[in-house]
Amino acid sequence: MTDTTTTESTASSADQPIGTLEHLDPTLLDIGDNVRDDAALSKAFIANIAENGVLVPITGVRDPERPEVIRVRNGQRRTLAAREVGLSSVPVYVLPSTAADASQETIDRIVHQIVTNDQKRDLTDAQRARGIQQMIDAGMSVTKVAKRLSVAKDAVKAAHTAAQSTTAMDALASGQLSLVEAAAITEFEDMPGALERLMSSAGRGWFEHTVAQLRQERATAQARAQAAQVYTDKGFTVLEHRPESWDAACIPLHHLVTGEGDEADDNAVTNPAHWAVLLSEDTALCDVETGDVVDEETVDWETEDQPDAEPAEGLRHANSVTEAQVFVPDTSLTSTWSPPTTGPGFDSVLTTRW
């Protein structure tokens, strides 16, 4: 025998009139009065009705004196959109009229229309993003998801991108970021300090500017690292910053003397690891295809802005080069030398003079 607990409802069945679900022609529904005095049908809403039909039944009340008339109580936007896209039938939950008079009918209608709109909760951006990701995981393409949901493809892409990142989804769920902003931060999760800068500019007019700055900084860092690798591969020590004056870890060669007291020269240090290179950003001519730096003396400038012109023998066409930002050794530090002052790579014992 199973114990059963029954909880009595505080409302009687008379408080909740029983209706019927019917499929009716939207053009035959009487929209009547509505507290929403502007239906404000957007293109996206109409497209959604055209794509998916009316998913949530319209609520209507049967006129007690004219039973063939169904007056829309909740769902005027769905009704109008269904008419506009030419739906032949829509689901309608038809309620009987229980009002004693016209005044009571007005009160019942307004209560229904206000409560059904006020007491609903929209999906959060995080919930929407997870839902979109589940559709994609189920095999739908971004294009098809956008079509079914009647949203822009960029919005679907942003949701898909954000859903891949726990950091982005946490920020989205907490309301700190919009969907587009959450998608943007995924690009910089491995960049030190980037997330803090993005979070501080979220919801402000300069968020996109911050994103552009970070992209430029990352591109610059990558270009510098690529340039530094060339010197690292040759055995040189690449400095991150210009050394301070009288830095004991990085001594200018002209401050060193040999054991005989003579000023040290380049020949005194043969190990490239003891030579320091500091890279600085500069503008140079580069090959438009490879990005390699090009000597401007090898360019036939007479061919500039003349794509069909033939360059002189031994020279290249001006259109094959472009100005670009590059990293080159700072010539003021090409003689900087790093300790130790004895051991492999030194022709003699060197000492400082200061």
pLDDT (0 to 100) of residue 332: 58
Q: Which pair of structure tokens corresponds to residue 196?
A: 């803090």
Length of the chain, please? 354
pLDDT (0 to 100) of residue 349: 45
Whether the CB-CB separation of 294 and 300 falls below 8 Å is answered with no
Whether the CB-CB separation of 172 and 125 falls below 8 Å is answered with yes
pLDDT (0 to 100) of residue 270: 77
DSSP 305: T
DSSP annotation string for 140-172 = --HHHHHHHHT--HHHHHHHHHHHT-HHHHHHH
Can you list the residues of the chain whose pLDDT is less than 70? 1-14, 246, 248, 331-354
SS (H, E, C) 87-139: CCCEEEEEEECCCCCHHHHHHHHHHHHHHHHHCCCCCCHHHHHHHHHHHHHCC
Place of tokens 């929407």: 128
DSSP annotation string for 254-295 = GGEE-TTSPBP-GGGB--GGGBEEEEEEEEEEEETTT--B--
- Domains in the chain: ranges and CATH: 20-183 (1.10.10.2830), 191-234 (no CATH), 250-337+348-352 (no CATH)
Whether the CB-CB separation of 327 and 279 falls below 8 Å is answered with yes
pLDDT (0 to 100) of residue 207: 92
Q: What percent of the chain has pLDDT over 70?
A: 88
Q: What one-letter code names the amino acid at 163?
A: A
Sequence-distant (≥ 6) Cβ neighbours of residue 284 within 8 angstroms: 293, 294, 323, 324, 326, 328
Bridge partners (DSSP) of residue 96 are 62
Q: Which pair of structure tokens corresponds to residue 343?
A: 């051991």
pLDDT (0 to 100) of residue 267: 78
* Alpha carbons 51 and 44: distance in angstroms, whole number: 10
pLDDT (0 to 100) of residue 7: 45
